[in-house]
């Protein structure tokens, strides 16, 4: 029934938890920092250190909440 893998849902959840305070306090700089953080996690931790499975969709699912937050922040 559930078509979204649990791993992607966790990336979405933690992306939301980490992006909210960054975007709320630092606005566009928090957005840039959070997206950079998610990319670094996939590249450094998963790929370079070999401690996980680097996937582009993990980065996307982590970044979606940051995109939502920055859109809301800039339009309010």
Average pLDDT across the chain, whole number: 96
Residue 1 lies in a domain: no
Cβ proximity of 23 and 66 under 8 Å:
yes
| pLDDT at residue 2, as a whole number | 81
| pLDDT at residue 1, as a whole number | 53
Total number of domains in the chain: 1
For residue 38, give the nearest of 8, 4, 15 by alpha carbon: 15
Residue 16 lies in a domain: yes
Domain limits at 29? 6-75
Supply the pTM of this predicted model: 0.91
């Amino acid at each position: 029934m559930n078509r979204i893998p649990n791993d992607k849902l966790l990336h979405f959840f933690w992306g939301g938890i980490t992006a909210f305070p960054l975007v709320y306090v630092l606005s566009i700089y928090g957005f840039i920092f959070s997206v950079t953080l998610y990319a670094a996690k996939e590249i450094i931790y998963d790929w370079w250190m070999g401690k996980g499975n680097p996937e582009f969709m993990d980065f996307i699912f982590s970044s979606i909440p940051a995109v939502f937050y920055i859109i809301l922040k800039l339009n309010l």
